Amino acid sequence: MVNTRLTWICHGATMASRKALFPLDEPLEDKAEEEAASMAAPPRADRIATSPALRARQTAEALRLDARIDQALRDCDHGRWAGRSITTVEADEPANLLAWMSDPEAAPHGGESLVDLRRRVASWMDNESSLGGHVIAVSHAAVIRAAVAHVLQAPLPSFWLSDVEPLAVIHMTTDGRRWSLRFPH
């Protein structure tokens, strides 16, 4: 069996995250770049990957990580809701927002369902586990929440119960048979 360590790093804060907007490809806030640059250096890794989104690439750069872009680490596709506030979507499409938040297979925004997001993230994790070693992934809160639900083998509605803050670091390990959350000291 191959042992793999996976360190997730959530990108820093953006204007969209501060204003509760479904994200577009926006840059980090200046303060977020400074916060990332002041974080402790991540441990050595065999592979480093980042979402193609500007905010994730800027986070990787601020952390001085030489990361390759990996499309599998992209944020959840929010379809026509991208750039809109959750409050506006709730006012304009209350039934659609409720469906998306309560039915993991629903994608009323024309984007990606939570089932599809989890499948994409789990596939990426399984591929990385076959390679072994340590991988660092700079990505998005939704991607990391999908990874946590996958590791815990939790029902997808639990996706909404994890709160991943900007610049959060989450550790996972696998022995090639199953994934585990890891809480370093």
Q: Are 179 and 129 in contact (CB under 8 A)?
A: yes
Average pLDDT over the chain reads: 95
- Give pLDDT, residue 57: 98
- Residue 41: what pLDDT? 81
Phi–psi pair at 172, nearest 5 degrees: -140, 155
| Whole-angstrom distance, CA of residue 54 vs CA of residue 27 | 6
Mean pLDDT of 145-157: 95
Strand order in the sheet with 47-50: 68-69, 47-50, 133-139, 4-10, 169-174, 179-182
Residue 145's contacts (CB-CB under 8 Å, 6 or more residues apart) are 159, 162, 164
pLDDT at 1 over 80: no
Considering Cα of 56, then 47, then 37, then 147, what sign does the dihedral take? Answer: positive
User: What integer pLDDT is reported at residue 83 of this predicted model?
Assistant: 95
Contact at 8 Å (CB) between 8 and 172? yes
The total number of structural domains that make up the chain? 1
Domain range for 70: 4-182
Identify the CATH number of the domain in which residue 160 sits. Answer: 3.40.50.1240
Nearest residue to 83 via CA among 62, 65, 109 = 109
Using 50, 70 and 90 to split pLDDT, how confident is the model at 42?
confident
Say yes or no to pLDDT of 18 above 90.
no
Distance CA 127, CA 142 (A): 19
